[in-house]
Copies of this chain bind each other. A is one copy, B any other.
């Protein structure tokens, strides 16, 4: 090992003062089962803002959380633009002027409404699925086959 004194080696990976853990793009993408391309694309879209060591990206906890939130939003069918709306304003909060904050509250209320609608949609779709399921099983039984 000819590494000099660049930074702490990843020897002790679990016993850190909660502040230092970083990730490479490869680690992150494996962790969430996305490609590096996707991670870079999210950065380009303003959803992530990793640091750099030379030309390499270094991701911190904050970035990992953001990525997690982003992917969760995607699973719910939100666009990256919508996700950014919330995620970024969350960061812009500390220095937040009142207008921005009110705008944020507005957006949050909208998201909440959207989620409620989704809940209802899920409920209904479940009913439909159960219905189709029942019918299918009955037809199967009428064919003399067991479930």
Tell me the number of copies of this protein.
2
Is B145 touching A75 in the complex (CB atoms < 8 A)? no
Is A133 touching B108 in the complex (CB atoms < 8 A)? yes
Selected contact of A77 from candidates B77, B105, B132, B133, CB within 8 Å: B77
Q: Closest residue of chain B to A95, judged by CB?
A: B139
A71-102, CB under 8 A of B: which get 1 and which 0?
01111111000000010001001101010011
Which chain B positions have C-beta within 8 A of A128?
69
Determine whether A129 belongs to the interface, using a CB cutoff of 8 Å to chain B: yes
Which chain B positions have C-beta within 8 A of A140?
98, 101-102
Known contacts A77-B75, A101-B140, A115 near B125 by CB under 8 Å: yes
Q: How far, in angstroms, from A51 to B69 measured CA to CA in the complex? A: 45
Which chain B positions have C-beta within 8 A of A145?
98
Is B112 touching A129 in the complex (CB atoms < 8 A)? yes
Is A132 touching B108 in the complex (CB atoms < 8 A)? yes
Which chain B positions have C-beta within 8 A of A76?
77, 118, 121-122, 125
- Cβ of A106 to closest chain B Cβ, rounded Å: 10
Is A108 touching B129 in the complex (CB atoms < 8 A)? yes
Q: How far, in angstroms, from A117 to B102 measured CA to CA in the complex? A: 31
- Taking A98-B140, A119-B122 as given, write out 7 further A-B residue pairs in contact, using a Cβ cutoff of 8 Å, ordered by the A residue number: A69-B128, A75-B117, A75-B121, A77-B77, A105-B133, A108-B136, A115-B126
* 5 tightest Cβ-Cβ pairs between the two chains A and B: A77-B77, A101-B136, A108-B133, A72-B121, A115-B122
